[in-house]
Amino acid sequence: DAGVIQSPRHEVTEMGQEVTLRCKPISGHNSLFWYRQTMMRGLELLIYFNNNVPIDDSGMPEDRFSAKMPNASFSTLKIQPSEPRDSAVYFCASSFGGSDEQYFGPGTRLTVT
Amino acid sequence: KNEVEQSPQNLTAQEGEFITINCSYSVGISALHWLQQHPGGGIVSLFMLSSGKKKHGRLIATINIQEKHSSLHITASHPRDSAVYICAGVDSGGGADGLTFGKGTHLIIQP
């Protein structure tokens, strides 16, 4: 298995632009998690899905952030409009069963100028 | 709100030393993950445990549920063990739950 796949690996954009991050979980996993890592705050949960349904989005910082999971093999995290403080590494992780071991993708490093 | 605290924040040791990283967690957490983040940024899950002890190679993780405390040990440490080690708690509410992360321990093993 290729593991959790994220794209792009790096994204540099200007403030105000829309950014879309993509994640393909491990086949057969039914839970998907989006995390953000910054120097100041460390790793934080943004949102997680179980069987494609958003369960808890309380970690999503603002209305500018939205996440979708249209099917079991694909999820997106969108920021519209982006701001410099959104600069971070965004990780996607998946697991089989909500509390099972999570497998992390390589992350997307986002820089908003 | 669940909380996870790690110590130490930074640890530098010589190759071969026995390493211990500690993690304390709040009442609402039922299990812990230990994660390793490589210098390149990738995150690997080392262990997930809700009781007792697990061992994988030179890595050992223990958890004491009564004391709400977990430790990660590295025996015969090696420079390639240099990484950030993060403990993360699983909410005891059940179902699919995200993780509450500690701030990480930055470990450097010098040759």
CB distance A98–B103 less than 8 Å?
no
The answer to whether residue B95 neighbours chain A at the CB level (below 8 Å) is yes
CB distance A50–B95 less than 8 Å?
yes
pLDDT over 60 at B1, yes or no: yes
CB distance A89–B41 less than 8 Å?
yes
**Which residues of A fall below an 8 Å CB-CB distance to B?**
31, 33, 35, 42-45, 47-50, 55-56, 59, 89, 91, 93, 95, 97-104, 106-107, 109
Please tell me the least confidently modeled range out of A8-22, A66-80, B6-20, B36-50. Answer: B36-50
Q: For B11-35, how does the pLDDT look when each residue is reduced to its tens digit (9 = 90+)? A: 999 999 999 999 999 988 888 999 9
The Cα–Cα gap between B109 and B98 comes to: 31
CB distance B48–A101 less than 8 Å?
yes
CB distance B99–A45 less than 8 Å?
yes
Tokens of A74: 């694909």
Count of beta carbons in the 10 Å neighbourhood of residue B75: 13
Q: For A66-111, how does the pLDDT look when each residue is reduced to its tens digit (9 = 90+)? A: 999 999 999 999 999 999 999 999 999 999 876 678 899 999 999 9
Give residue A26's pLDDT.
95
Shortest distance, CA A110 to any CA of chain B (angstroms): 13
Q: For B60-80, how does the pLDDT look when each residue is reduced to its tens digit (9 = 90+)? A: 999 999 999 999 999 999 999
Strands (E), chain B: 4-7, 10-14, 19-25, 29-37, 43-49, 52-56, 59-64, 69-74, 83-91, 99-101, 105-110
Shortest distance, CA B25 to any CA of chain A (angstroms): 16
CB-CB neighbors (< 8 A) of B5 in chain A = none
CB distance A99–B41 less than 8 Å?
no
Output A49 or A97, whichever has higher pLDDT.
A49
